[in-house]
Amino acid sequence: MDSQTLSPSQFEPNYSAVVGVVENGDGDEDVVEKGNRCGDFDAAGKVFEEMPYRNVVSWTTMIVGCAHNGKSEQALLLFGQMRRARVEFDHVALVAALSACAELGDLKLGRWVHWYVQKRQQQPSVRLNNALMHMYASCGIIDEAYQVFTKMSQKTTVSWTIIIMAFAKQGLGKEALDLFKDMFSDDVGENGVKPDGTIFIGVLCACSHAGFVEE
């Protein structure tokens, strides 16, 4: 989940064009989304600030736009404002916030999001669990990442990739290799879970760390 870094020269404010979209009948949420998608954060932010009522869609759209475009600090700032506004978070906002926490190493907020998920959501989505794992792994808390992984009733290729890479990056080669072997015994074909290039890179890295040249 690497963040994309945008330089200021890649997007110039074009608020008048965004206003034109409003005049053509699109809702404010659509305007904010289009502005973020184009990298026009100044325009999207101005529309957002002038909205008389901000619902979960408008908040989430701004947070996701920032998180996906390398503006993690701004994403978490908006997430905090959304929390103080007492707007209920949806899983999309939570995933975006966890992505930003992973990028910034904000373990404290990441753990709060995990607490919130446990309190409010009976069965978190696979995507949300993946985001939790990635956040813990990025903060170097491999045990908690693994706990999330083991409790998942459904695992995707992304799930396996995150946890294998997490162990490999911590120098836990044997554990990463054992997980890779477990992946093949987890009804791979039936669940549609297949190793990809990233997993193989993680396994090679793990073998290197552990000195398993023959493996």
Q: With 0.85 as the threshold, say if the pTM is over it.
A: no
Using 50, 70 and 90 to split pLDDT, how confident is the model at 66?
A: confident
Residue 116 token pair: 């919130």
Among the CATH numbers 3.30.479.30, 1.25.40.10, 3.90.1150.10, 3.30.590.10, which is that of 8-153?
1.25.40.10
Residue 205 token pair: 């890295």
- What whole-number distance in Å separates Cα of residue 63 and Cα of residue 95? 10
How far out from the chain centre does Cα 148 lie?
15
Per-residue model confidence as pLDDT tens digits over 101-154: 999 999 999 999 999 999 886 678 999 999 999 999 999 999 999 999 999 988
Measured from the Cβ of residue 4, the count of other Cβ atoms closer than 10 Å reads 9
Which pLDDT value is given to residue 6?
31
- What whole-number distance in Å separates Cα of residue 125 and Cα of residue 146? 17
Does the pLDDT of residue 20 top 50, yes or no?
A: no
Does the pLDDT of residue 212 top 80, yes or no?
A: no
**Domain coordinates in residue numbering, the chain:** 8-153, 155-215
Which pLDDT value is given to residue 187?
57
